Amino acid sequence: MASQQRQRGLRQWFTAVSFASPWLVGLLALFVYPFLVSLYWSFCQYDLINPPHLIGLENYQQLGTELASGTGIGKALWNTSYYALISVPLSIVVGVGLAALLSCEIRGQSIFRTLFYLPSVIPVVASSILWMWLLNPADGLVNSILGSLGLWQPQWFASPDEFFSPHTFTASAWSNNSAPVGSKDALILMSLWGMGNFMVIYLAAIGDIPKSLYEAARLDGAGPLRRFWNVTLPLLTPIIFFNLVMGLIQSVQAFTQIYIVSEGRGAPADSTLMLSLHLFLSAFQHLDMGYASAVAWLLFVLLGMATWFLFTTSRHWVYEGLR
Longest dimension (CA), the chain: 91
Q: pLDDT, tens digit, for every residue of 213-245?
A: 989 999 888 888 999 999 999 999 999 999 999
CA-to-CA distance for 258 and 255, rounded, in angstroms? 5
Superfamily of segment(s) 69-316 = MetI-like (1.10.3720.10)
Helix or strand holding residue 211 (H, E): helix 211-219
Closest to 301 measured CA to CA, from 73, 29, 25, 85: 73
CB-hemisphere CA count at 13 Å for 122?
Answer: 20
Mean pLDDT of the chain: 89
148, pLDDT greater than 80:
yes
Give helix then strand counts, H and E, for the chain: 15, 2
pTM of the model: 0.89
Q: Where are the domains of the chain?
A: 2-41, 69-316
CA-to-CA distance for 87 and 247, rounded, in angstroms? 9
178, pLDDT greater than 80:
no
321, pLDDT greater than 70:
no
300, pLDDT greater than 60:
yes
Alpha carbon separation from 117 to 122, 192, 197 (Å, rounded): 10, 12, 7
Three-class DSSP category at 53: strand
Q: Are 52 and 58 in contact (CB under 8 A)?
A: no
Between these two residues, 289 and 9, which has the higher pLDDT value?
A: 289
